[in-house]
Amino acid sequence: TVVFDKTGTLTEGSFTVTAVHPEIIPETALLETAALAESYSDHPVAASLRRAYARPLDKSRVSDMENFAGEGIRAKVDGHEVYAGNEKLMHRAGVVPKPCECKGTIISDTVKPQSSAAIARLKSEGIEKVVMLTGDRPDVADEVARQLGMDELYAGLLPADKVQRVDALTASESKSARLAFVGDGINDAPVLKRADVGI
């Protein structure tokens, strides 16, 4: 079995903001607030928000940052508490997010051109099962998995959930079977260590 992380491994991991849906403040102010909240983060989504804002950021306006692995970030921007992240983080903050009317996600990523051929080659070489694990939303992840011909997909996972899923996959195989995990290492260090082979 070969298990893949999605973002940055099977996809480019270079995100682009494709839509902004402000309700109370203007679009530019919303982008600025999100970019400021993410101004100290090196996560690819944070970088995409900063690129979308495309103006210099005064980081002195930001304080009290807290990262929530696999969810997003909380920070004070101009003294106001800001949560920038996914639906799980919004629920943590007590916010009921409205569903986005755009298909997919407002921050999009593209499949690497060589991913499909790599999956096909693994299968032709005798790999019995190819699995994708991702923290991304199920609808977005399902499209990538279908495109690449993955045998199984597990989405909406935190780093600890990926470890549990690899443990479950390993437990379901014969003793002679081996499991390799392929990831980019940013959030995947625990699961890379847990696999028989970490790439």
Establish whether 78 is a catalytic residue: no
Both tokens of 139, joined, read 């609808």
Both tokens of 106, joined, read 């407002």
> Which of 5, 109, 136, 188 is an active site residue?
5
Give, as one character, the DSSP assignment of residue 111: B
User: CB-hemisphere CA count at 13 Å for 51?
Assistant: 13
Asked whether 68 and 38 are in contact (CB, 8 A), the reply is no
The dihedrals phi and psi of 36, each to the nearest 5 degrees, come to: -65, -45
What is the distance in angstroms between the CA of the first residue and the CA of the last residue of the chain?
A: 13
Q: Please, what is the Cα angle at 170 between 169 and 175, to 5 degrees?
A: 140
Q: Please, what is the Cα angle at 189 between 37 and 74, to 5 degrees?
A: 15
Catalytic residue numbers read 5
